[in-house]
Amino acid sequence: EIVLTQSPGTLSLSPGERATLFCRASQSVSTNYLAWYQQRPGQAPTLLIYGASSRATGIPDRFSGSGSGTDFTLTISRLEPEDFAVYYCQHYGSSLYTFGQGTKLEIK
Amino acid sequence: QLVESGGALVQPGGSLRLSCAASGFTVSDYYMSWVRQAPGKGLEWVSIIYTGGSTYYADSVKGRFTISRDTSKNTVYLQINSLRVEDTAVYYCARRFGGSRVFDIWGLGTMVTVSS
């Protein structure tokens, strides 16, 4: 079973700054099946990125994803107030779906 | 849109059936899943039902949970038996987005609390 480890656990930044979030897989995974979600407090998750680098419908272009093999990155180029939330990476493999433990992006 | 219902406070060992009513699309045309989130914790995938009817489960719920659907009601269900305290969570229904193996539409969730 593949384990996804996200870092850092908490990231404290100010609006306007650049955020870089990491997701490391315990073994090499297909980029086709790596996704990122945003979850604001009290809300359901929202799909941001799929296929490691493709933005979901309606997602602003300040969000970008990259990576391959075991290391993946979500970058938010300039933080807006609504971007402060928890972010999860997710992978699919062998009919199972795995989430990372999440990174909390908080206002500094 | 997805709307979950059926969450409740239940004693350990009890059972519940969660429902997920879909609108705007037909559940039998998509792979439909349940994902849960314990209070203050991360997301945990629970189960999925494929368009052809095949079902898959996380090891933590295998043998106790059953996913199903009713096409006449455009609804997906999760039957939860032998509930444990650690099953306490918000249960989300989610639609899988095509071949990308990701979840593009989520409901608001329904809360299941297992406590004596």
Q: What is the pLDDT of residues A7-60, one digit of tens each?
A: 999 999 999 999 999 999 999 998 889 999 999 999 999 999 999 999 999 999
CA geometry: angle at B104 spanning B39 and B28, to 5°?
105
Q: Side by side, which strands form the sheet with B2-5? A: B2-5, B16-22, B75-80, B65-70
pLDDT of residue A82: 96
- Tell me whether residues B43 and A90 touch, CB distance under 8 A: yes
Tokens describing residue A106: 């908080």
Residue with the larger pLDDT of the pair A95 and A76: A76
Q: How confident is the model at residue B82 (pLDDT cuts 50, 70, 90)?
A: very high
Give the residue among A40, A95, A78 at the shortest CA–CA distance from B56.
A95
Percent of chain B with pLDDT over 90: 96
pLDDT of residue A89: 98
Percent of chain B with pLDDT over 70: 100
- Tell me whether residues A88 and B43 touch, CB distance under 8 A: yes
Give the residue among B1, B13, B5, B4 at the shortest CA–CA distance from B84.
B13
Q: Which helix (H) or strand (E) holds B109?
A: none
* Residues whose CB is less than 8 angstroms from the CB of residue B40 and which lie 6 or more positions away in sequence, other chains included: none
| B98: pLDDT strictly greater than 80 | no
pLDDT (average), residues B28-57: 96
- Tell me whether residues B104 and A56 touch, CB distance under 8 A: yes
Search chain B and give the residue with CA nearest A95.
B56
pLDDT (average), residues B17-42: 97
Search chain A and give the residue with CA nearest B90.
A44
Contact list, A90 vs chain B (CB under 8 Å) = 43, 102-103
| B62: pLDDT strictly greater than 90 | yes
- For chain B, the average pLDDT equals 96
Side-chain-side CA neighbours of A47 within 13 Å: the count stands at 27
Give the residue among B35, B84, B83 at the shortest CA–CA distance from B56.
B35
